[in-house]
C-alpha cells in the first residue's frame, strides 16, 4: 500500500524548508522525494493525500527518557519506581505513548524501575501494543551511599526499584552484564552528584576503575552506555574511557567540547529541567547562564547534541516535552532548524541508525510527522500542539492525515 503526499512543505531534517514537494511512501519506506508535479505517475493503488502546504518532517528522538518515572509510580514510597512490575510496565508504555503522540518516534532509556523496559519494548516490537522505536534501559548503576541510594538503611530494603548498587570494578562489570541479560540495550551510570541530585556537583561517586570496568563491559556486550555526569573531571574520564552519551554535562567547557568532538560521544544537555526548577534552586540560574554560553560553542564545534530530559519528576510531567524545544530556542538562542536537526539527524546518528532514520530521504524508513505550520519558522507549532499526524514506517500511529 503506497501513499503519495502532495502539497508538502518539506523539512528534511538538515536543510531549510522547501515548499511544493511531493513524497511517496511504499512498503514503510520513503521511495520518492521530488517537486509537486500533478502529472507525475503514482504507484498503482496509491492513496494520494494533499497536505495543503503543511510541513512534513522526520519523526523526532527523545534520548534521555525515564519511562517509569511518574508520580503515579511513586507509591507507596517516594522514589518513583516502587510499584509492582506489571503496573510499572503499563506506566512505561503509557509514557512512551505520550512521547509518540508529541512526535517522538524514537525514545532512548536513561534508567527505569523494576527492569520493565525491555519487556515493554518486546511488546511494541511484536505488535501487541503500539509505540515508538525504543532503546530500553535497566536500573541505574550507582555506588553504595551515592545520592541516588536514598532508601534509609533501617528500612531493611536493599535499594529503590530504579537503582542497582555496585561497588568495585568487578561488581560494575557484573551489574552491566546482568542488565544486558535482562534486555537492556543501554546502560545508565550515576557517576557524579549535581544536576538535580542531592549531592554536590563536585562529588564523583564512582572511581575511575569502576567507570572503566562498566564501559568495557557494556561495549563487550555491544550495548550503549551513558552517565549522569555533571563534573568536568568525571566527564573527561568518561570520554577518555569511551562513554557513548554524556548526560547533563554541566561543566562543559572548551576542553570538554574538544574531547566530545574527538571521541564522537553525544551530549544530552537537558536544560529544561533546571529551568523549570530554577525558582526553587537559585544556583540553577548561574548553571543555565553557563550552558546558554557554552552550548553555541559546542554546536559550532560539531558536538552531537541530543534532546531528552528528566520527565516524570514531580511538577515535570511526561507530555511537557514542548518546553524543551522552546527553551533551546527562546532561552539558549538557537535557530529552530538547529534544534530540529538535533531532534532528528542527531538522534538517529547517536544510535547508529543514521542510514535508516533521521531525515526525509529516499530509502529511509518513513517515520514522519505532519505539522500544521512550519516549526522552522515558529517552534511553537510543534512545541505547543502535538503533530497533526505521526507515522511510523509509513503507518499513522497518532493523529490523522488531512482528509
- Provide the minimum distance between the beta carbon of 247 and Zn ion in the complex, in angstroms, as a whole number: 6
- Provide the minimum distance between the beta carbon of 148 and Zn ion in the complex, in angstroms, as a whole number: 10
- Provide the minimum distance between the beta carbon of 310 and Zn ion in the complex, in angstroms, as a whole number: 4
Report the distance separating Cα 258 and Cα 296, nearest Å.
14
* Residue number, 110 or 214, with CB nearest to Zn ion: 110
Q: Which residue's C-beta sits nearest to Zn ion?
A: 310
Q: Which of 139, 197, 199 is nearest to 165 (CA)?
A: 139
CB atoms within 10 A of CB 19: 12
β partners of residue 368 = 58, 391
Which residues are within 8 A (CB) of 37 and not within 5 positions of it... i.e. 6 or more apart? Answer: 22
Q: Rounded to 5 degrees, what are φ and ψ at 398?
A: -155, 145
- Provide the minimum distance between the beta carbon of 229 and Zn ion in the complex, in angstroms, as a whole number: 11
* Residue number, 123 or 278, with CB nearest to Zn ion: 278
Per the document, the length of the chain is 403
Report the distance separating Cα 117 and Cα 110, nearest Å.
10
- Provide the minimum distance between the beta carbon of 36 and Zn ion in the complex, in angstroms, as a whole number: 43
* Residue number, 21 or 248, with CB nearest to Zn ion: 248
- Provide the minimum distance between the beta carbon of 312 and Zn ion in the complex, in angstroms, as a whole number: 9
Angle at CA 137, nearest 5°, toward 325 and 182? 165
Contact residues toward Zn ion (CB under 5 A) are 110, 310
CB distance 274 to 284 below 8 Å: yes
Q: Distance from CA of residue 40 to its chain's centroid? A: 38
CB distance 136 to 112 below 8 Å: yes
Report how far apart, in Å, the C-alpha atoms of 262 and of each of 242, 343, 388 are.
11, 22, 39
Report the distance separating Cα 322 and Cα 109, nearest Å.
19
* Residue number, 110 or 307, with CB nearest to Zn ion: 110
Which residues are within 8 A (CB) of 7 and not within 5 positions of it... i.e. 6 or more apart? Answer: 20, 36, 50, 51, 52, 53, 54
* Residue number, 172 or 311, with CB nearest to Zn ion: 311
Report the distance separating Cα 187 and Cα 59, nearest Å.
24
| DSSP-derived secondary structure letter, 139 | P
* Residue number, 195 or 232, with CB nearest to Zn ion: 195
* Residue number, 140 or 367, with CB nearest to Zn ion: 140
CB distance 56 to 366 below 8 Å: no
- Provide the minimum distance between the beta carbon of 398 and Zn ion in the complex, in angstroms, as a whole number: 25
CB distance 46 to 4 below 8 Å: yes
* Residue number, 196 or 322, with CB nearest to Zn ion: 196
* Residue number, 171 or 310, with CB nearest to Zn ion: 310
- Provide the minimum distance between the beta carbon of 153 and Zn ion in the complex, in angstroms, as a whole number: 24
- Provide the minimum distance between the beta carbon of 225 and Zn ion in the complex, in angstroms, as a whole number: 14
* Residue number, 287 or 310, with CB nearest to Zn ion: 310
Indicate the SS3 state at residue 259. helix
The grid coordinates of residue 286 equal 548561574
- Provide the minimum distance between the beta carbon of 80 and Zn ion in the complex, in angstroms, as a whole number: 11
Amino acid at each position: 500500500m503506497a501513499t503519495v503526499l502532495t502539497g508538502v512543505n518539506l523539512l528534511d531534517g538538515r536543510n531549510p524548508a522547501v515548499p511544493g514537494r511531493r513524497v511517496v511512501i511504499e512498503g514503510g519506506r520513503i521511495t520518492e522525494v521530488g517537486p509537486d508535479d500533478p502529472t507525475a505517475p503514482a504507484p498503482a493503488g496509491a492513496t494520494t493525500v494533499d497536505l495543503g502546504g503543511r510541513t512534513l518532517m522526520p519523526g523526532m528522538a527523545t534520548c534521555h527518557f525515564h519511562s517509569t518515572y511518574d508520580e503515579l509510580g511513586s507509591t507507596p514510597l517516594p522514589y518513583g519506581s516502587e510499584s509492582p512490575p506489571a503496573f510499572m510496565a503499563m506506566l512505561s508504555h503509557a509514557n512512551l505513548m505520550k512521547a509518540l503522540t508529541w512526535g517522538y518516534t524514537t525514545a532512548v532509556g536513561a534508567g527505569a524501575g523494576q527492569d520493565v523496559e525491555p519487556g515493554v519494548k518486546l511488546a511494541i516490537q511484536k505488535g501487541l501494543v503500539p509505540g515508538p522505536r525504543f532503546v530500553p534501559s535497566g536500573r541505574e548503576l550507582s555506588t553504595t551511599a551515592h545520592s541516588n541510594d536514598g532508601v534509609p538503611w533501617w528500612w531493611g530494603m536493599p535499594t529503590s526499584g530504579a537503582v542497582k548498587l555496585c561497588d568495585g570494578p568487578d561488581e560494575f562489570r557484573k551489574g552491566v552484564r546482568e542488565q544486558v541479560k535482562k534486555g537492556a540495550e543501554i546502560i545508565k551510570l550515576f557517576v557524579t552528584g549535581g544536576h538535580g541530585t542531592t549531592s554536590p556537583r563536585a562529588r564523583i561517586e564512582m572511581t575511575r576503575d569502576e567507570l572503566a570496568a562498566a564501559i568495557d563491559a557494556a561495549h563487550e556486550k555491544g550495548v550503549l552506555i551513558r552517565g549522569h555526569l555533571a563534573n568536568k573531571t568525571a566527564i573527561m574520564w568518561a570520554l577518555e574511557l569511551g562513554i557513548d552519551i554524556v548526560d547533563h554535562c554541566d561543566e562543559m567547557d572548551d576542553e570538554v567540547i574538544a574531547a566530545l568532538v574527538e571521541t564522537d560521544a553525544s551530549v544530552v544537555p537537558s536544560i529544561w529541567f533546571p529551568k523549570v526548577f530554577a525558582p526553587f534552586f537559585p544556583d540553577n540560574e548561574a548553571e543555565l547562564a553557563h550552558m546558554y554560553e557554552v552550548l553555541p560553542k559546542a554546536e559550532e564545534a560539531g558536538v552531537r547534541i541530543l534532546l531528552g530530559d528528566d520527565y516524570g519528576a514531580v511538577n515535570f510531567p511526561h507530555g511537557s516535552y514542548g518546553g524543551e524545544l522552546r527553551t533551546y530556542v527562546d532561552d539558549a538562542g538557537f535557530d529552530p532548524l538547529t534544534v530540529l536537526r538535533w531532534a532528528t539527524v542527531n538522534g538517529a546518528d547517536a544510535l547508529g541508525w543514521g542510514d535508516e532514520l533521521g531525515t526525509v530521504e529516499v530509502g529511509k524508513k518513513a517515520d514522519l510527522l505532519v505539522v500544521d505550520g512550519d516549526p522552522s519558522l515558529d517552534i511553537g507549532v510543534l512545541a505547543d500542539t502535538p503533530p497533526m499526524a505521526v507515522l511510523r514506517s509509513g503507518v499513522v500511529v497518532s493523529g490523522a492525515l488531512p482528509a
